Amino acid sequence: MARAKAIYSESGEPLRSLGVLLDISDRKSIEVERQRADEYLQLAHTQLLQRTEQLEKVNLELHQALEELQITEEQLRRSNHQLETTILAVQLQRQRYEDLFNFAPDGYLVTDSYGIVQEANQAAGNLLHRHSSALVGKPLAVYIGKEDKLRFRTYLAELQPLWGRQTYELTIQPHQIKAFPAAIAASTIRNPQGQIISIRWLIQDISDRKQAEESLRRSEAKFRSLSEASPVGIFMTDIQGHCIYTNPCCQEICGYTFEEALGEGWLQFIHPEERQEISARWFKSVSQRQEIFGETCYVRKDGSLRFGRVRSAPLFSDTGELMGYVGTIEDITESRAIETMKDEFISIVSHELRTPLTAIRGSLGLLASGVLNNKPEVAQQMVEIASQDTERLVRLVNDILDLERLESQRVRLNLQWWDAATLLEKSVKTVQPLAAESDISILIEPTSAQVWADGDLLIQTLVNLIGNAIKFSPPNTTVTLKVQNRDDRVLFHALDRSLGIKP
């Protein structure tokens, strides 16, 4: 290294220069080494900072990894706990399934797709009369009744494409004991590809049910037999009061067919004047589960009227459950007509009784008073009048008694075949004196009709009929008697010249 200094004059001009030369080689070497050392230190410091940063980053990553590891460890612990809980639940569920499977009251079996038993419960063993373990490996078809084996194989083949539960009724043939009817339900277990892995079978002994069904069929057949032969109309409805059954007698009375009466169809055969009232009463009693009783007028298709006495009551099962309603219809058309005739007859008889009683009383009164003591002919006439009216009175009383016996069903009829002409001749002989007295001629038209009747009672009826014709005919006229023979009856006619009696 060199240093120099200029020397100047007073006027400022340079005079000379003065310099010193120093050897600084060692110092330069030292500076170079020092510089190198500084650079190395700087590099080392930089690398140290980088390494420290890397270490901090790695430490952070390790810390995060540790936290993640701890979280994962906690998750694994929880998962392990859940797995243990799930395994325990599965074990409990399997135990329940095994308990249900083994101790179920019905027979349960599991077979492969070919019907080979893989598993069976105790009930299945009891039904098939084999230990459940002895059933494993055996074809289920072995325990199907001979007559149903082909059907079973058909059902087994049909299960291949079918999904869901299928039910059948087959005969089961247990080992060495009597066969019994069974209800069998089958359902398939399939893999994700839809292929059958196994088939579950449920077998129930339905012997009691079949016996109950047979008893019910017999009861229904017996009921229908009795109902169809019953002289009283019988009907049944559901719990809403809609008709579900009528017997032939009911159909005959009301004029409808079995199909026409179903539901509310029977209402269309009620007389229009009563239909609304009957309908309201009926459905009110149904809603209140009450009995109903009354008389109803039916209009049949031919326009004729029939009167029925209706009685119905709710029908309950053994458990008290309402099953519907059952009722009867009694045809009272004839009894109503008889009652009307009786009322009219009593009205007429009341009048008719007064007439002979008045005549008898008057005749006997005159005889008792002695007024006719000196008039024997007139007295004799009074006696004859009293006698004739007494006979008339006896006939009227007998008619009343006959009507009473007829109404109380105490009349015994002696039925046999009679020639209608013979009956007319006997009747005419009885009333001939009355006809002669009134100057009435009686003409009987020829007839070959035969009638199945009680001869005495029919003659009595004909005597009354002919007697009325004579009574209301003017003198010197003819009463014509003729017989009209129809398919199911014989009609007797007494034709006279009177105005007649309103029928």
The CATH number of the domain where 439 resides is what? 3.30.565.10
Asked, for residue 279, whether it belongs to a domain, the answer is yes
Q: Assess whether pLDDT exceeds 80 at residue 293.
A: yes
What's the rounded Cα separation, in Å, for the pair 104 and 288? 43
The pLDDT value recorded for residue 502 is: 46
User: Residue 256 — pLDDT band, cuts 50, 70, 90?
Assistant: very high
The pLDDT value recorded for residue 355 is: 60
Question: For 58-86, how does the pLDDT look when each residue is reduced to its tens digit (9 = 90+)?
Answer: 888 888 888 888 888 888 888 888 888 88
What's the rounded Cα separation, in Å, for the pair 100 and 121? 9
Share of the chain above pLDDT 90, in %: 23
Q: Choose between 473 and 11: higher pLDDT.
A: 473
Q: In 3D, which of 309, 319, 317, 312 has the Cα closest to residue 289? A: 312
Same domain, 186 and 222: no
Tokens of 77: 């612990």
Q: Assess whether pLDDT exceeds 80 at residue 391.
A: no
The pLDDT value recorded for residue 21 is: 67
Q: Assess whether pLDDT exceeds 90 at residue 328.
A: yes
The pLDDT value recorded for residue 235 is: 93
CATH number, domain of 176, equals: 3.30.450.20
* Contact of 121 with 108, CB cutoff 8 Å: yes
Same domain, 218 and 326: yes
The pLDDT value recorded for residue 247 is: 92
Contacts of 481 (CB under 8 A, 6+ apart): 424, 428, 442, 443, 444, 445, 466, 492, 493, 494, 495
Same domain, 327 and 217: yes
Asked, for residue 91, whether it belongs to a domain, the answer is no
The pLDDT value recorded for residue 22 is: 65
The pLDDT value recorded for residue 163 is: 79
Same domain, 321 and 263: yes
Report which listed range, 208-212, 327-331, 473-477, is most confident.
327-331
Same domain, 283 and 241: yes
Same domain, 316 and 218: yes
What's the rounded Cα separation, in Å, for the pair 281 and 312? 12
User: Residue 501 — pLDDT band, cuts 50, 70, 90?
Assistant: very low
* Contact of 129 with 176, CB cutoff 8 Å: yes
Asked, for residue 73, whether it belongs to a domain, the answer is no
Tokens of 451: 């009638």
Q: Assess whether pLDDT exceeds 90 at residue 3.
A: no
The pLDDT value recorded for residue 81 is: 83
Three-class DSSP category at 18 = strand
Q: Assess whether pLDDT exceeds 60 at residue 258.
A: yes
Question: For 209-244, how does the pLDDT look when each residue is reduced to its tens digit (9 = 90+)?
Answer: 888 888 888 888 887 888 888 889 999 999 999 999
Question: For 154-175, how does the pLDDT look when each residue is reduced to its tens digit (9 = 90+)?
Answer: 988 888 887 778 888 999 999 8
Same domain, 124 and 160: yes
Which of 205, 229, 257 is the last residue in one of the domains?
Answer: 205
Q: Tell me, what amino acid is at 185? A: A
The pLDDT value recorded for residue 88 is: 78
Tokens of 196: 């059958």
Q: Assess whether pLDDT exceeds 80 at residue 18.
A: no
* Contact of 423 with 460, CB cutoff 8 Å: no
The pLDDT value recorded for residue 470 is: 84
Q: Assess whether pLDDT exceeds 70 at residue 353.
A: no
Report which listed range, 7-11, 358-362, 407-411, is most confident.
7-11
Contacts of 416 (CB under 8 A, 6+ apart): 452, 453, 455
Asked, for residue 29, whether it belongs to a domain, the answer is no
Same domain, 160 and 262: no
Asked, for residue 377, whether it belongs to a domain, the answer is no
The pLDDT value recorded for residue 277 is: 92
User: Residue 264 — pLDDT band, cuts 50, 70, 90?
Assistant: very high
Same domain, 257 and 157: no
Residue 144, beta-bridge partner list: 172
Mean pLDDT across the stretch 437-456? Answer: 86
List the single range of 26-30, 99-103, 305-309 with lowest mean pLDDT: 99-103
Asked, for residue 245, whether it belongs to a domain, the answer is yes
List the single range of 6-20, 299-313, 453-467 with lowest mean pLDDT: 6-20
Which of 163, 186, 205 is the last residue in one of the domains?
Answer: 205
HEC secondary structure over 299-321: ECCCCCEEEEEEEEEEEECCCCC
Asked, for residue 166, whether it belongs to a domain, the answer is yes
Which of 187, 205, 223 is the last residue in one of the domains?
Answer: 205
Phi, psi angle pair for 419, to nearest 5°: -80, 125
- Total of domains in the chain: 3
The pLDDT value recorded for residue 319 is: 84
Which range marks the domain in which residue 324 is found? 212-331
* Average confidence score pLDDT of the chain: 83
Same domain, 475 and 460: yes
Same domain, 277 and 246: yes
The pLDDT value recorded for residue 404 is: 65
Contacts of 133 (CB under 8 A, 6+ apart): 120
CA atoms within a 13 Å half-sphere pointing along the CA-CB vector of 481: 25
Specify burial of residue 242 (Cβ count, 10 A radius: 0-12, 13-18, 19+).
middle
Same domain, 220 and 322: yes
Asked, for residue 381, whether it belongs to a domain, the answer is no
Mean pLDDT across the stretch 384-397? Answer: 72
HEC secondary structure over 71-136: HHHHHHHHHHHHHHHHHHHHHHHHHHHHHHHHHCCCEEEEECCCCEEEEECHHHHHHHCCCHHHHC
- Length of the chain equals 503
Tokens of 210: 């079949």
Q: Assess whether pLDDT exceeds 50 at residue 503.
A: no
What's the rounded Cα separation, in Å, for the pair 232 and 311? 11
The pLDDT value recorded for residue 86 is: 83
